[in-house]
Amino acid sequence: MLLSKIRGPTSFESLRIVNGVLYPTFQEACNKYGLLDDDDEWHEVISECSKSGFASQIRQLFVYIIVNCQVSDLNHLWRTHWQVMADDILNNKRRSSRNLEMTMNDEEIQFYALAGEWWLWEDLSLEDIDMQVEIRSTSKTNNVVYKEVFYNVPSI
């Protein structure tokens, strides 16, 4: 696309220059030239849903959008709306681990927000759709430990 837009490029790097600014990727340069579709409609849909929907419903909508629709910048869509999609994650993890003091950093919350919808992905993985979310555990507690040591003593 850029080759048809730019006259006489001298290098691959010159293809990524738009109005004197060097962009890190060809996709961003194409975006600045207006050669790619934008994702305004998907941002609007998620924003509207977040006004009245539960976080789990918004996550399901997000998965539906990325599986069935054309999203040009998936990571931007996620980074813009992940907080409304992950609003319930920390409380759910605290309840399931029976540890009301549990803390999680943003990366962990994002990971669990996406991983929790694994059954909706059909045959997709986070790598297949180029989602840049990784988990770096900084929690002072381990869920496995809590599950293993939490017994209903009277029933034993």
pLDDT in tens, 53-110: 999 999 989 988 988 888 888 888 999 999 999 999 999 999 989 999 999 999 889 8
- Sorting pLDDT into bands at 50, 70 and 90, what band is 140? very low
Residue 25 lies in a domain: yes
Work out whether the CA dihedral 142, 145, 151, 153 comes out positive or negative: negative
55 shares its domain with 28: no
19 shares its domain with 51: no
Range of the domain at 130: 40-150
125 shares its domain with 106: yes
62 shares its domain with 82: yes
The residue whose two tokens read 């998936």 is 74
72 shares its domain with 96: yes
Exposed, middle or buried: residue 33 (CB in 10 Å: 0-12, 13-18, 19+)?
middle
| pLDDT score recorded for residue 58 | 94
Tell me the two tokens of residue 46: 């998620």
The count of domains in the chain is 2
Residue 61 lies in a domain: yes
Residue 125 per-residue DSSP state? -
50 shares its domain with 124: yes
- Condensed to tens digits (0 to 9), the pLDDT of residues 22-59 reads 989 888 888 787 777 778 899 999 999 999 999 999 99
73 shares its domain with 112: yes
Phi, psi of 92 (to 5 degrees): -65, -45
Residue 156 lies in a domain: no
Residue 22 lies in a domain: yes
Tell me the two tokens of residue 132: 């840049």
Q: CB 127: neighbour CB atoms within 10 A? A: 7
